[in-house]
Amino acid sequence: MMRNACRFNAQLMDFLRPHVAVGRTTESIDTLVHQYTVDHGHSPACLGYPGEHQPFPKSCCISVNDVICHGIPGSYDLKPGDIVNVDITTIVDGWYGDQSETFIIGEEHQVTDLARNVTQSAFEALHAGIEAVYPGCQVAEIGKAIVALVRDKFPGFGVVEKYVGHGIGAKFHQRPNIPHVPTRQSRQDRLYPGMCFTIEPMINTGTERSILDPKDGWTVRTLDGGLSAQFEHTILMTEDGAEILTLTNDGPQAGDVI
């Protein structure tokens, strides 16, 4: 059931891919997410998800430039040089598939080295975390691998600590939490065969600290106004190791240069 849910979610990401482009509004991308999902008989998990101030009002999260996560789609037109994370979660027969990608908008000459590097760092951090896990391992192995990669290959970038991955299955968010830095709790939690969880590192060009928009209660931005990028997969731990459930046909694969 989880494979089915994640397979559809990956299919949805590939459907969206050509539409995340210059001149498209984030609202128009959200509309595509919603229509494609319901046309296939499924439900967008983000729509109406309860929050402290208000339920999430859209069918996906779209986070542009300095927005770390939980960006609300709206009237913003994507521009050359932007980086934009599209985070989609689908409920398929009661089970949840969850993933995100950061897209670089425009031609190569229109994109700064900083934007390209932070996007690459988040992509490589995701796969470093995936490659670090094995049956029965501490959750902390994920954070250790991500912190080491960013420190050694992308010095000066910050790994967001406040927002984490999570267990997933017949509920959207379950234990254990999957932090992207090692913590006391993640050294106690372990990943056993049969468990599904997300790894979704958020990497900032400066400080890892963030600020929550007090008006909408959802949008999380970098504290210093720097750029932020994120990639996410849903993972199944098997007896042989990690299986990526949300692999796309057309998106970047491990080892690619974004």
Six token digits for residue 176: 């254990």
User: Beta-carbon neighbour count of residue 156 at 10 Å?
Assistant: 11
> What angle is formed at CA 253 by the lines to CA 69 and CA 133, rounded to 5 degrees?
75
**Which is it for the CA torsion 21, 79, 232, 29, positive or negative?**
negative
**Could you give the 3-state DSSP secondary structure of residue 214?**
coil
206 neighbors 158 (Cβ within 8 angstroms):
yes
pLDDT value for 258: 87
Tens place of pLDDT per residue across the chain (258 aa) = 999 999 999 999 999 999 999 999 999 999 999 999 999 999 999 999 999 889 999 999 999 999 999 999 999 999 999 999 999 999 999 999 999 999 999 999 999 999 999 999 999 999 999 999 999 999 999 999 999 999 999 999 999 999 999 999 999 999 999 999 999 999 999 999 999 999 999 999 999 999 999 999 999 999 999 999 999 999 999 999 999 999 999 999 999 998
pLDDT value for 53: 86
242 neighbors 214 (Cβ within 8 angstroms):
no
77 neighbors 64 (Cβ within 8 angstroms):
no
User: Beta-carbon neighbour count of residue 240 at 10 Å?
Assistant: 9
Q: Rounded to whole angstroms, how far apart are CA atoms 229 and 105? A: 13
pLDDT value for 226: 98
Q: Rounded to whole angstroms, how far apart are CA atoms 90 and 43? A: 6
Beta bridge partners of 100: 87, 232
pLDDT value for 201: 98
CATH superfamily of this structure's domain 2-244: Creatinase/methionine aminopeptidase superfamily (3.90.230.10)
Q: Where along the chain do its domains lie?
A: 2-244
Q: What is the pTM of this model?
A: 0.96
CA nearest 22: which of 87, 77, 74? 77
